[in-house]
């Protein structure tokens, strides 16, 4: 039985998360000892780990901040890293703790860890973020959404969250509910039952302008990643236009002509603000020529493995005239 008392346990945890050299293996022994001490005093180690006991933050927050960028599960020894070990003793996490962990991921710009922590056994999306060179905060997000149509029919919403340009974003496919305040959206109110796409900033993110578009190609036609490899032409004002963001597809078979790419403009007339009470950007799928087809079984825009592959291309700037994207 452990001879530690709760105060000594808190001190040990504090020292552990301050050290970059602390491994998951050594931390496991300390946390097991702390768990025994807490049990002896009828205390909850999960509660202690979620207290702001280390410089007004939780140990989990500091585990993310101090974590080495490439630190991950050791495939040979199966020894988890410090963060994984802490998480295993912290469940269930409170909303406040989850918010702190998300903030730490944002501060460190650790998109890979952010996605790793969000993965669920049922639906593990593949999300990759590409930051482009330039002064306009351009970025692109490639996403593969599993069981898209089934989840839309059952849950009426499929969400993707990611970190890009020092902000946390949420892109969601939604079926518009019967009661939804029109003032929630930057654009316009939509009929109940309308399939749409929304884009929002989440907590801890600074306000920003954004001009973006969501692109979904015929499932047999891969994306052209030349967005990151080419210098886009400029508008008369001297800034790159969204029309210059390449997105081309090559036929998957010489016998079938690819269908046009679904392209949905996501922009707002004012800066996007990260608050639940503030508006989000919304665009109905029917705004694009073939967008509404995502509702139908057998659509060629969803692969045979039931995965929807889409790409968001964005620049953090004030949107230009409506004719920029045709």
What are the tokens at 230? 């080419």
What are the tokens at 138? 């351009």
Q: Which helix (H) or strand (E) holds 13?
A: helix 6-18
For 111-168, the pLDDT digits (tens) are 988 988 876 555 567 899 998 887 788 999 999 999 999 999 999 999 999 999 999 9
- Coil/strand/helix, residue 311: strand
What is the pTM assigned to this prediction?
Answer: 0.75
Task: Report pLDDT for 178.
Answer: 72
Say how far apart CA 312 and CA 262 lie, in whole Å: 12
Task: Report pLDDT for 300.
Answer: 92
Return the beta strands (E) in the chain as ranges.
Answer: 126-131, 139-145, 157-164, 167-175, 195-201, 211-216, 262-267, 281-284, 308-315
Q: Around 213, how many Cα atoms within 13 Å sit in the side-chain half-sphere?
A: 24
pLDDT one digit per residue (tens) for the chain, 326 residues: 445 555 665 656 666 665 655 555 577 888 888 888 888 888 888 999 999 988 899 999 999 998 876 545 444 444 457 888 889 899 899 999 999 999 999 999 999 889 888 765 555 678 999 988 877 889 999 999 999 999 999 999 999 999 999 999 999 999 988 766 544 554 557 788 899 999 999 999 999 999 999 999 998 745 444 434 444 444 545 555 554 444 444 444 456 677 899 999 999 888 999 866 556 899 999 999 899 999 999 999 999 999 999 999 999 999 986 544 33
The CATH code that applies to domain 122-229+258-324 is 2.60.210.10
Task: Report pLDDT for 79.
Answer: 45
Instruction: Give the strand order in the sheet containing 167-175.
Output: 157-164, 167-175, 195-201, 281-284
Task: Report pLDDT for 326.
Answer: 31
Tokens 């029919």 found at:
153
Say how far apart CA 66 and CA 18 lie, in whole Å: 7
Task: Report pLDDT for 249.
Answer: 45
Task: Report pLDDT for 246.
Answer: 45
What's the distance, Cα to Cα, between the start and end of the chain in Å? Answer: 70
Say how far apart CA 258 and CA 220 lie, in whole Å: 8
Task: Report pLDDT for 195.
Answer: 94
Task: Report pLDDT for 324.
Answer: 40
How many helices (H) and strands (E) the chain has is answered by 8, 9
Q: Which helix (H) or strand (E) holds 102?
A: helix 95-107
Task: Report pLDDT for 230.
Answer: 44
Say how far apart CA 177 and CA 160 lie, in whole Å: 19
The full set of domain ranges for the chain reads 6-117, 122-229+258-324
Angle at 206 between CA 201 and CA 209, to 5 degrees: 70
Task: Report pLDDT for 183.
Answer: 46
Sign, CA dihedral 137-167-216-213, equals negative
- Coil/strand/helix, residue 318: coil
Tokens 């330039």 found at:
134
Instruction: Give the strand order in the sheet containing 126-131.
Output: 126-131, 139-145, 308-315, 211-216, 262-267
Say how far apart CA 17 and CA 49 lie, in whole Å: 11
Q: Which helix (H) or strand (E) holds 12?
A: helix 6-18
């Amino acid at each position: 039985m452990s001879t530690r008392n709760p105060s000594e346990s808190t001190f040990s945890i504090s020292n552990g998360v301050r050290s970059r050299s602390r491994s998951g293996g050594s931390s496991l022994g300390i946390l097991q000892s702390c768990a025994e001490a807490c049990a002896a005093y009828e205390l909850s180690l999960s509660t202690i780990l979620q207290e702001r006991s280390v410089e007004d933050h939780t140990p989990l927050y500091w585990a993310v901040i101090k974590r080495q960028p490439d630190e991950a599960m050791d495939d040979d020894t199966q020894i988890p890293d410090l963060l994984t070990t802490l998480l295993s003793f912290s469940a269930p996490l409170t909303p406040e703790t989850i918010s702190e962990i998300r903030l730490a991921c944002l501060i460190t710009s650790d998109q890979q860890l952010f996605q790793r922590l969000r993965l669920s056994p049922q639906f593990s999306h593949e999300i990759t973020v590409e930051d482009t060179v330039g002064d306009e905060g351009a970025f692109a997000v490639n996403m593969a959404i599993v069981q898209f149509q089934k989840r839309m029919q059952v849950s009426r919403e499929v969400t993707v969250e990611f970190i890009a340009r020092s902000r946390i974003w949420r892109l969601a496919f939604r079926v518009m509910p019967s009661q939804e305040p029109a003032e929630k959206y930057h654009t316009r109110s939509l009929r109940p039952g309308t399939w749409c796409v929304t884009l929002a900033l989440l907590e801890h993110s600074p306000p920003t302008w954004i001009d973006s578009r969501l692109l979904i190609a015929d499932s047999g036609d891969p994306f052209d990643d030349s967005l990151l490899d080419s210098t886009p032409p400029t508008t008369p004002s001297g800034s790159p236009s969204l029309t210059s963001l390449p997105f081309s597809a090559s036929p998957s078979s010489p016998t079938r002509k690819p269908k046009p790419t679904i392209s949905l403009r996501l922009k707002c007339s004012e800066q996007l603000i990260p608050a639940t009470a503030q508006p989000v950007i919304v665009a109905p799928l029917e705004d694009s020529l073939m967008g509404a087809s995502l509702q139908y079984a057998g659509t060629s825009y969803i692969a045979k493995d039931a995965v929807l592959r889409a790409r968001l291309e964005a620049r953090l700037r004030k949107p230009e005239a409506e004719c920029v994207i045709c």
